[in-house]
Amino acid sequence: MKKTFLKFMMIASVLGTVMVSCSSDDDSGDKNTCSDGIQNGDETGVDCGGSSCQPCASTALEGEISDELTLDASLEYELKGKLEILDGGKLTIPAGTVIKATGGTASYIAVAQGGQIFVNGTASDPVVMTSGEASPAPGNWGGLVVCGKAPTNKGTAVTSEVADLTYGGTVSDDNSGVIKYLRIEYTGATFTNDKEFNGLSLFGVGSGTTVEYVQSYNGGDDGIEFFGGTVTGKYLVSTNSGDDGIDFADGWNGNGDFWYISGAAFAGIEGSNLAEEPAGVDPVTTTTLSNITVVGPVTEGALYYKEGGGNFTIDNFYTAGTDLGVKVKSTDTPAATRIEAEALKITNMQFASVADGFEKTDYTGANQSFISEGIATGAGNGAAAPDWAAGWTRGLDNSGVTESNLEGTITSAVSLQADVKYLLTSKLEILDGGELTIPAGTVIEATGQTSSYIAVAQGGKIFVNGTATEPVVMTSGEASPAPGDWGGLVVCGKAPTNKGTAVTSEVADLTYGGTVADDNSGSITYLRLEYTGATFTNSKEFNGLSLFGVGSETTVEYIQSYNGNDDGIEFFGGTVTGKYLVSTNSGDDGIDFADGWNGNGEFWYISGAAFAGIEGSNLAEEPAGVDPVTTTTLSNITVVGPVTEGALYYKEGGGKFTIDNLYTSGIDLGIKVKSTDAPAATRIEAGDLVITNIQFDAKATGFVETDYTGAKQDFYTEGTATGAGNGAATPDWATGWTVGL
């Protein structure tokens, strides 16, 4: 085999140097020779190591490779000048190899068109290219430059910004080798203010090339940059870059997946098409990015959409500690044109621990919907270092994120974190197939009135996993909280309701109802909802918790609505049962149920309701034969007044109610029934309303047990009641996780 002679100096433990270079394929035998310029026998390097040769020390690298060369992981290499892999040349770097560079701009590794590099690091033994200086610093050496034959909109034979190599062409699937598990440190040597090395520069690199698990650490310029080409970059890390974290431009048509960027001096990601973009330039930068984290601070946005931008589709984009989400210069007409044409689309973008003066974007054009917020995991763990980066990267640690925005849609399984305060500024919808898990102790602060609420659509699920000592709290984010500051929690299921099988919810505009009596929308336990009830109109307001057609397999237990502007908790049809419910200071009724609800209730504690303690109805303007009829068994209920519409308001046909152990205190009316409600009266006369062991305690002035004037006056029976547990006093099961009792 032809040998490749480059300046490749073996510095041994004895005097003298030998300049050689060869592939390990040149082995000529099984014995060490120690002097033939070939790595053979059990030598660990060329003419060194093994059973009989002198020990191997460091090896100097520079020159050109036109054939094949494999480095030795047992050696520490010194890059003293440029090392170029020419057309036909191949450089293989095994796992664990360390290359230390000195020489500033003169020291870099470059792969020319037709050359190939194979960086074969592993998660436990990455290849490391770093500074050889005694006190390493950004800009100590150049970096790694790869030039391919894939298209770029700068031309088909362009000279690279650094390394002075030709790149670009028409070979989209060009293959410049494999780069895996590579850490590049202290790169970015400077020629001029606008001409610097990046950690990894990819000029017109084709899709046949693999670029995965690469970190740029403490580089003087961009961490990683794509100049046109079609190569895809996966599992990329940029840490403390002196310019942008990751940059792409010049008609790049690759994709990106799992990028973790922190400490970028300018933009987290800078994406552009072409400076001074001419009409009809081709190809246009076009990419799909997914699973991206940018941890600030940054000075030019988490994303800088620049110089015409291009066609970007970005999903699952998590940012933390930034003051600007997407930057677009007001003078960048091509970029604005593309945004207006919906060429930039970002979904599930989440902003955490935003910096002072935060803006989602500084773009002022008409299309402001190109960003859709949502819950994002970013590169894997939000702002924290992703699991896939463990072991082979450096300089990463978990971010101290304390706040995170919360809005958008959820279509898969998503979990919140109890140590993060979430800011709900708009609607958050859990759609069909989506699952939202909220751990014990989580706090969600909402602002935005009617535009701010959490809704579970049919087929979606919510799991509120509070505990008695650490409830989940959904509350107002206003400086002076008040009822109606935000919407509330809305759950829509597929269980029957007498309003139809596909009805639109009063709030959140979601479909509910159906035939699935045992539908499961998840589990809600130990949840406190505060300052809900934002108002659309006098007849259309959010409740604290609204349950539309929710099925019996859903768990609804240990819930308090506190200082809500409308009803505390309301059941609109469905079959779900509600246990251990608390409604405190509701602006309308304490707990309301209607529209053919066929669930049950047990241990309800209601105080401070502005109208009825409990309002139970069947259907407004009830037609004959409506089905299902509201049918429920309630037990262990306390209503503490004053109220203005009775402890129980049996309304709009009421339904079939069996109630036992109902304790009331401080009310002036026990059971209210309108004289004009003929369907309600018919049911009372038919024995469909039965109340046993109702106790009227501490009666208010003018107290009346019922205002029903029909013939049947024995539908209720007085007795001694404990109600929700302790009569008018706070029940033991409500201590610790409720407020205002």
Give DSSP secondary structure letters for 365-402. Answer: SS---SEEE----TTTBTTBPPGGGTTT--S-------
Q: Nearest to residue 681, comparing CAs of 714, 705, 711, 702?
A: 711
Residues 638 and 707 grouped into a single domain: yes
Residue 400 located in a structural domain? no
Do you find a cis peptide bond into 483, omega within 30 degrees of 0?
Answer: no
Residues 87 and 164 grouped into a single domain: yes
Whether pLDDT at 439 is above 80: yes
Higher pLDDT, 730 or 52: 730
| 386: its two tokens | 């992703």
Residue 631: the pLDDT is 98
Distance CA 180, CA 213 (A): 5
Q: How far is CA 239 from CA 290, 313, 342, 393, in A?
A: 19, 24, 31, 9
Q: What is the mean pLDDT of residues 428-432?
A: 97
Residue 169: the pLDDT is 97
Q: Is residue 489 very low, low, confident or very high in pLDDT (cuts 50, 70, 90)? A: very high
State which of 344, 368, 389 marks the end of a domain.
Answer: 389
Residue 23: the pLDDT is 33
Q: What is the mean pLDDT of residues 72-83?
A: 93
Residues 286 and 434 grouped into a single domain: no
Residue 369 located in a structural domain? yes
Model confidence pLDDT, tens digit, residues 199-247:
999 999 999 999 999 999 999 999 999 999 999 999 999 999 999 999 9
3-state DSSP helix/strand/coil % of the chain, to nearest 5: 5, 40, 55
Whether pLDDT at 624 is above 80: no
Residue 398: the pLDDT is 62
In this predicted structure, which of 24-28, 289-293, 315-319 has the lowest mean pLDDT?
A: 24-28
Model confidence pLDDT, tens digit, residues 128-142:
999 999 999 999 999
Residues 113 and 196 grouped into a single domain: yes
Residues 605, 610, 611, CA angle at the centre, nearest 5°? 90
DSSP 498-518: TT-SSEE-TTT--EE--S-TT
Residue 191: the pLDDT is 77
Q: Is residue 45 very low, low, confident or very high in pLDDT (cuts 50, 70, 90)? A: low
Domain with 188, as residue range(s), is 62-389
Dihedral sign (CA 299, 391, 201, 7): positive
Whether pLDDT at 192 is above 50: yes
Whether pLDDT at 736 is above 90: yes
Residue with tokens 């796992």: 95
Whether pLDDT at 372 is above 50: yes
Residues 283 and 352 grouped into a single domain: yes
Residue 328 located in a structural domain? yes
CATH of the domain at 661: 2.160.20
Model confidence pLDDT, tens digit, residues 499-534:
999 999 989 999 999 999 999 999 999 999 999 999
Whether pLDDT at 2 is above 60: no
Q: Indicate the residue type of 291.
A: N
Residue 508 located in a structural domain? yes
Q: pTM of the entire structure?
A: 0.84
Distance CA 404, CA 350 (A): 7
Do you find a cis peptide bond into 334, omega within 30 degrees of 0?
Answer: no
Residue 316 located in a structural domain? yes
What does pLDDT average to over the chain? 92
Do you find a cis peptide bond into 496, omega within 30 degrees of 0?
Answer: no
Contact by Cβ (8 Å): 39, 29: no
Q: What is the SS3 string spanning 322-362?
A: CCEEEECCCCCHHHHHHHHCCCEEEEEEEEECCCCCCEEEC
Whether pLDDT at 449 is above 70: yes
Contact by Cβ (8 Å): 406, 423: yes
Residue 284 located in a structural domain? yes
Torsion region of 378: left, alpha or beta (phi above 0 gives left; psi -120 to 50 gives alpha): left
Q: Nearest to residue 616, comparing CAs of 657, 581, 558, 644?
A: 657
Residue 625: is it exposed, middle or buried by C-beta count within 10 angstroms (0-12/13-18/19+)? exposed
Model confidence pLDDT, tens digit, residues 330-367:
999 999 999 999 999 999 999 999 999 999 999 999 99
Pairing of strands 98-101, 127-131: parallel
Q: What is the mean pLDDT of residues 115-137?
A: 96
Q: How many domains is the chain built from?
A: 2
Whether pLDDT at 263 is above 80: yes
Q: Indicate the residue type of 194.
A: D
Q: Nearest to residue 431, comparing CAs of 495, 511, 314?
A: 511
| 45: its two tokens | 């390097």
Q: Nearest to residue 693, comparing CAs of 634, 645, 617?
A: 634
Instruction: Please enumerate in sequence order all residues whose Cβ is within 8 A of that of 630, keeping only pairs 6 or more positions apart, or say none.
Output: 498, 593, 594, 595, 596, 597, 598, 616, 617, 618, 619, 653, 654, 655, 656, 657
Q: Nearest to residue 684, comparing CAs of 662, 716, 660?
A: 716
Distance CA 299, CA 582 (A): 48
Whether pLDDT at 62 is above 60: yes
Residues 258 and 173 grouped into a single domain: yes
Residues 454 and 361 grouped into a single domain: no
State which of 389, 416, 445 marks the end of a domain.
Answer: 389
Residues 171 and 251 grouped into a single domain: yes
In this predicted structure, which of 13-17, 371-375, 571-575 has the lowest mean pLDDT?
A: 13-17
Task: Please state, for a pLDDT cut of 70, what percent of the chain lies above it.
Answer: 94
Residues 374 and 471 grouped into a single domain: no
DSSP class of 24:
G
Q: What is the mean pLDDT of residues 3-13?
A: 34
Residues 146 and 220 grouped into a single domain: yes
Whether pLDDT at 18 is above 70: no
Residues 329 and 434 grouped into a single domain: no
Q: What is the mean pLDDT of residues 290-306?
A: 97
Distance CA 448, CA 487 (A): 8
In this predicted structure, which of 185-194, 255-264, 368-377 has the lowest mean pLDDT?
A: 185-194
Residues 381 and 460 grouped into a single domain: no
Q: What is the mean pLDDT of residues 472-479?
A: 97
Q: Indicate the residue type of 39.
A: Q
Contact by Cβ (8 Å): 491, 497: no
Residue 409 located in a structural domain? no
Task: Please state, for a pLDDT cut of 90, what percent of the chain lies above it.
Answer: 85
State which of 336, 369, 389 marks the end of a domain.
Answer: 389
Dihedral sign (CA 323, 324, 330, 332): positive
Residue 404 located in a structural domain? no
Model confidence pLDDT, tens digit, residues 391-425:
999 998 766 788 999 999 999 999 999 999 999 99
